[in-house]
Amino acid sequence: MGEAHVSIILGVAIGSALGTMLRYSVLNTWSAKSKYFTAVFIVNMVGSFALGYLMAIGATYAMHSFWTTGVIAGLTTFSTMMTQSGQYTRGQQAWYLAWQIIFGMIFFSAGTALITIL
What is the tens place of the pLDDT at every residue in 40-79? Answer: 899 999 999 999 998 888 766 778 889 999 999 999 988 8
Residue range 9-46, pLDDT digits in tens? 999 999 999 999 999 999 898 866 666 678 889 999 99
Non-local CB neighbours of 36 within 8 Å, separated by 6+ positions: none
Angstrom distances, CA of residue 46 to CA of 28, 50, 80: 17, 6, 16
pTM: 0.84
DSSP-H helix ranges across the chain: 3-29, 39-57, 61-64, 73-75, 79-85, 90-117
> Are 100 and 41 spatial neighbours (Cβ–Cβ below 8 Å)?
yes
